Structure formats: C-alpha cells, structure tokens
C-alpha cells in the first residue's frame, strides 16, 4: 500500500514565522501535490511537482513556495506565516501523468497561525 | 478554481438506507473520481470513472456519469455508521497536466445507527 506521511498532525505558529511542512511518499510516485482545505471551499491546489526539482503553481500559490530535492519528499514553505494561512494542509501523490490515476493523500497537517 | 459542485451539502440517513449525492462540473473531463474523507483525516480514493463510461460499481458503491449533463452521482447502498464521512468528487480535464484534479466542496454524510 502507498503510504504518504506528513511531518506534523497539528502545528501552531506565530505570524511572521517561516513554516516548513514536509511530505514523504514511499511508492516512487512521480507526482506530488499540496492542497489546503477550508470549510465550504473544498480542496484548493497550492503547488504540485511532476519530477525532482520541478514545480508548477496551482490555483492559490501566493504566500507559499515548495521544494522537491528528492523524489519521495515534497516540502511546502510558508515564507512569512499569516493568520489567513490557518488551514488544513493535505499532501498527495500519484503515480504518473500518462494515464488516469488516483491520488493518495497523507493524514493532513492542521496549521494554526496566531 | 472549483470545478465540481456536490449536492446536497449535507445528508443525514439511517443505517441500511441508501445515500445518493450528486456532482456537477463545468468543463469537459477525462475522468471523474470520488473520494471519502473521515473527520479530520486525509482523503481516500473510492472510484474512478472515465469520460467514455456511464456507470461503474465497486462493492456497495455505484457511480454514474452523464457527460451531456456534466454530472455524476454516487450511490452508497445499505449504508453503515462507518460510511459517515465527507465525500468529494474530483475531475481531471483534457487540458489538466500532470494528473491535476479539481475538487468540489464535498457532501457531508451522517449515518445514524
């Protein structure tokens, strides 16, 4: 079974702090994704990556950056956390883009910015 | 941008009843997927239906797709308390690269014993 793990289940940070959210998948998937989930808004794509060192902006990239130095790891960085970034953050991976395939999700990180 | 919209937003049923939820989307798709999310957890993939398919079954799940109406439905038969969760539809479009999906806001289902 594919396993996607996220570094923290709960995180509390202060406004202005730099925040790192880590995601690791163990099934050699090409694609990795970062979403944020807010009530009533569903999942919104922040960034995704289709290969090591490759990244593409999603629908809401402002205030975020990402890093993918190794295939199994995809990091989301909040350069200067703000209260409107309080949210549930979900990481996902999928095998590759050449055919329809499902995304596998981590358990999520609930981030609170005070 | 949000592609799929689920209806209803919330659904409350008793064990043994069937639960039906709908998803409408705006642009053409390659496939449509349904996911389940238990409270405060990550999403779990349930079923994928391609644009050239009309119906698909998996256990107690039945998914239909009507591309002319740009809509899909998910039916859960003989529901159980363990089916209590939020259900999301997600679409992959012909111009979506790298397996990107557009998710709806979800239907929250509560199954009472």
Task: Compare all CA atoms of chain B with the CA of A31 and give the residue at the minimum distance.
Answer: B98
Alpha-carbon distance A9 to A66, whole Å? 19
Q: pLDDT tens-digit profile of A3-31?
A: 999 999 999 999 999 999 999 999 899 99
Quote the DSSP letter at residue A80.
S
Query: What's the pLDDT at A97?
Result: 66
Superfamily of domain A4-113: Immunoglobulins (2.60.40.10)
Contact B100 A45 (CB under 8 A): yes
> Are the C-beta atoms of residues B32 and A100 closer than 8 Å to each other?
no
Residue A96 pLDDT more than 90? Answer: no
B97 lies within 8 A of chain A by CB: yes
**Which residues from A are below 8 Å from B45, CB to CB?**
102-104
Write down the domain spans for chain A.
4-113
Give me the residues of chain B with pLDDT under 70, please.
1-3, 96-98
Contact B33 A105 (CB under 8 A): no
Q: pLDDT tens-digit profile of A27-81?
A: 899 999 999 999 888 899 999 999 999 999 999 999 999 999 999 999 999 999 9
Strands (E), chain A: 4-6, 10-13, 19-25, 31-38, 42-51, 54-57, 64-70, 73-78, 87-94, 104-105, 109-113
Q: How far apart are the first and last CA of chain A?
A: 37
Size of interface A-B (CB pairs under 8 A): 69
Alpha-carbon distance B19 to A110, whole Å? 29
* CATH annotation of B5-112: 2.60.40.10
A105 lies within 8 A of chain B by CB: yes
Query: What's the pLDDT at A101?
Result: 80
**Which residues from B are below 8 Å from A102, CB to CB?**
33, 45, 48
A82: closest CA of chain B, how far (Å): 22
- Best CA proximity match to B63, nearest among B102, B94, B35: B35
Q: B107 CB contacts (<8 Å, ≥6 apart)? A: B6, B7, B8, B9, B10, B11, B21, B86, B87, B88
A residues 16-55 closer than 8 Å to B (CB) = 31, 33, 35, 40-45, 48, 50
**Which residues from B are below 8 Å from A44, CB to CB?**
2, 103
B39 lies within 8 A of chain A by CB: no
Query: What's the pLDDT at B109?
Result: 97
Query: What's the pLDDT at B25?
Result: 93
> Are the C-beta atoms of residues B101 and B33 closer than 8 Å to each other?
yes
């Amino acid at each position: 079974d594919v396993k996607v793990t996220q570094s923290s289940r709960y995180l509390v940070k202060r406004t202005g702090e730099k925040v790192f959210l880590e995601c690791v998948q163990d099934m050699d998937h090409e694609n990795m994704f970062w979403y944020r989930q807010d009530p009533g808004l569903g999942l919104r794509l922040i960034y995704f990556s289709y290969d090591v060192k490759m990244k593409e902006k999603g629908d809401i990239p402002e205030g975020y950056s990402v890093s993918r130095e190794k295939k199994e790891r995809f990091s989301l960085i909040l350069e200067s956390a703000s209260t409107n970034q309080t949210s549930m953050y979900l990481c996902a991976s999928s095998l590759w883009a050449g055919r329809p395939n499902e995304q596998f999700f981590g358990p999520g990180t609930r981030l609170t910015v005070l | 941008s949000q592609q799929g919209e689920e209806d209803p937003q919330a659904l409350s049923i008793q064990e043994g009843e069937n639960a039906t939820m709908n998803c409408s989307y705006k642009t053409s798709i390659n496939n449509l997927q349904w996911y389940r999310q238990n409270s405060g957890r990550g999403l779990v993939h349930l079923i994928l239906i391609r644009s050239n398919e009309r119906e698909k079954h998996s256990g107690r799940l039945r998914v239909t797709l009507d591309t002319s109406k740009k809509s899909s439905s998910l039916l859960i038969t003989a529901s159980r308390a363990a089916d209590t969760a939020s259900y999301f539809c997600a679409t992959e479009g012909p111009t979506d690269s790298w397996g990107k999906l557009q998710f709806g806001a979800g239907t929250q289902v509560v199954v009472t014993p």
